[in-house]
């Protein structure tokens, strides 16, 4: 199987581990955070800035790119790396989540999903095979299977049905995937929410098919934290150690840390970038809402210990001014800070695992988070 994943270190106190995902566009050191670049750009940033901040992989969205600019354009450009000029690894999401969350009309059938474009209402029928074909054309390093996503809470019988369909689609995705040689990887997505019997079934179905990586979908949607963590713990025991695990869309620092402790390797979330554009900044002392009047004459940097471009040069007062004036540079400077915060955090996680101090790091960070500020 391509895309070998190599575990490079393990934490003795938990299931946390570091690893390396090999892709045609380079290596991804895990645990890792993929900034979201749905449309082929991390919102508000230039690729050069994303690279400088230390991102190893970005996430593009097959749903969005397939609608606009369309596959034909990206194929003619030579694939998504070439079209967007990002030289490093790219993971493409299949678009399952977007179909269910953006489309005004969705109808699930055994064969695939029927939906209308949220942009112009065009009716589209997407089968799991199509999702594979689309991502093959994109040429992303890591492709995701098309899953059947349900919001939380969903009744158990409905979730059972979703798991069944997701498993059938995963098998068909793999079959399609095997029809032609490709250096790309295909990762399967499990569903089942926090119903462990359903999640277990979903994961076992995926394991039977066999994928390069395993994603936990449909979590972080408001389910009780204890049930989420229990699900991660049980999944850790079920999933093979030699494959990366991806907890989709989960973005709170405290959850990430606990998920890493339960053996998760790969994360993505719009939280740092979206919050930045709304003027909410992450610091080691908690969240900072930059528009607050109390920052109007606060000439300190956002985070005095932070080394990002924003904190090295600009004050809370100036950032508040830019935010209040609705300046584009407000979005840019805030995003630089928040993404630096996340990527730096993942660097610290990896470092602490490698140096056998993850338990201490986890403890200190959790304590800091509990103190909080605003």
Catalytic residue among 141, 147, 268, 303, which?
A: 268
Minimum distance from residue 119 beta carbon to a copy of itself (Å): 10
Quick check: helix, strand or coil at residue 338? helix
- Site of interaction with a copy of itself (CB under 8 A): 39-48, 68-69, 72-73, 76-77, 83-85, 277, 296-297, 299, 309, 313-315, 317-318, 320-322, 324-325, 327-329, 331-333
Minimum distance from residue 297 beta carbon to a copy of itself (Å): 5
Catalytic residue among 11, 93, 130, 147, which?
A: 93
Quick check: helix, strand or coil at residue 10? strand
- Closest CB to a copy of itself among 43 and 164? 43
359 contacts: CB under 8 Å, gap ≥ 6: 11, 13, 14
- Closest CB to a copy of itself among 10 and 54? 54
- Closest CB to a copy of itself among 160 and 337? 337
Quick check: helix, strand or coil at residue 94? coil
CA distance 263 to 259: 7
336 contacts: CB under 8 Å, gap ≥ 6: 45, 49, 53, 308, 309, 310
Cβ of 302: how many Cβ atoms within 10 Å?
24
- Closest CB to a copy of itself among 13 and 41? 41
Minimum distance from residue 158 beta carbon to a copy of itself (Å): 34
Cβ of 45: how many Cβ atoms within 10 Å?
22
Minimum distance from residue 113 beta carbon to a copy of itself (Å): 23
11 is catalytic: no
Minimum distance from residue 66 beta carbon to a copy of itself (Å): 13
CA distance 78 to 321: 42
Query: Which spans in the chain are helix H?
Result: 47-52, 62-65, 71-77, 80-84, 96-102, 128-138, 156-178, 196-209, 225-238, 253-261, 271-277, 309-313, 316-324, 328-354, 358-371
Minimum distance from residue 282 beta carbon to a copy of itself (Å): 19
First to last CA, the chain: 47
- Closest CB to a copy of itself among 323 and 362? 323
Q: Is 246 left (phi over 0), alpha (psi -120 to 50) or beta?
A: beta
Residues 186, 212 contacting (CB under 8 angstroms): yes
Minimum distance from residue 74 beta carbon to a copy of itself (Å): 9
268 is catalytic: yes
CA distance 54 to 186: 24
The neighbouring-strand residues paired with 9 are 18
Secondary structure letter of residue 294 according to DSSP: G
- Closest CB to a copy of itself among 328 and 367? 328
- Closest CB to a copy of itself among 180 and 328? 328
- Catalytic residues, by residue number, are 93, 268
């Amino acid at each position: 199987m391509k895309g070998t994943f190599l575990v490079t270190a393990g934490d003795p106190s938990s299931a946390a581990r570091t690893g390396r995902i090999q892709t045609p566009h380079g290596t991804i050191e895990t645990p890792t955070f993929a900034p979201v670049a749905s449309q082929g750009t991390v919102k508000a940033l230039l690729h050069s800035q994303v690279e400088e901040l230390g991102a190893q992989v970005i996430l593009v969205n097959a749903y969005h790119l397939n609608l606009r600019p369309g596959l034909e354009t990206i194929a003619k450009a030579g694939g998504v790396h070439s079209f967007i000029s990002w030289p490093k690894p790219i993971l493409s999401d299949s678009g399952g989540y977007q179909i269910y969350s953006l489309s005004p009309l969705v109808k699930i059938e055994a064969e695939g999903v029927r939906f209308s474009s949220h942009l112009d209402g065009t009716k589209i029928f997407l089968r799991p095979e199509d999702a594979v074909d689309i991502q093959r054309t994109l040429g992303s390093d890591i492709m995701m299977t098309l899953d059947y996503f349900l919001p939380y809470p969903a009744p158990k019988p409905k979730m059972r049905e979703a798991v069944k369909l997701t498993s059938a689609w995963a098998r068909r995705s793999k079959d399609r995937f095997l029809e032609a040689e490709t250096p790309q990887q295909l990762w399967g997505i499990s569903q089942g929410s926090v119903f462990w019997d359903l999640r277990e079934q979903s994961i076992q179905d995926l394991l039977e098919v066999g994928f390069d990586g395993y994603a936990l979908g449909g979590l972080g949607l408001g389910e009780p934290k204890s049930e989420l963590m229990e699900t991660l713990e049980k999944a850790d025991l079920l999933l093979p150690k030699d494959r990366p695990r991806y907890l989709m869309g989960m973005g709170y620092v405290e959850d990430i840390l606990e998920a890493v402790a339960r053996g998760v390797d790969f994360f993505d979330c719009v939280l740092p970038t979206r919050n930045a554009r709304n003027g909410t900044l992450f610091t080691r002392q908690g969240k900072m809402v930059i528009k607050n009047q109390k920052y109007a004459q606060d000439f300190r940097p956002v985070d005095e210990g932070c080394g990002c471009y924003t904190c090295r040069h600009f004050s809370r007062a100036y950032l508040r001014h830019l935010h209040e004036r609705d300046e584009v540079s407000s979005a840019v400077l805030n995003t630089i800070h928040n993404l630096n915060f996340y990527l730096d955090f993942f660097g610290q996680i990896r470092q602490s695992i490698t140096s056998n101090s993850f338990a201490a790091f986890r403890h200190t960070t959790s304590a800091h988070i509990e103190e909080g500020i605003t």
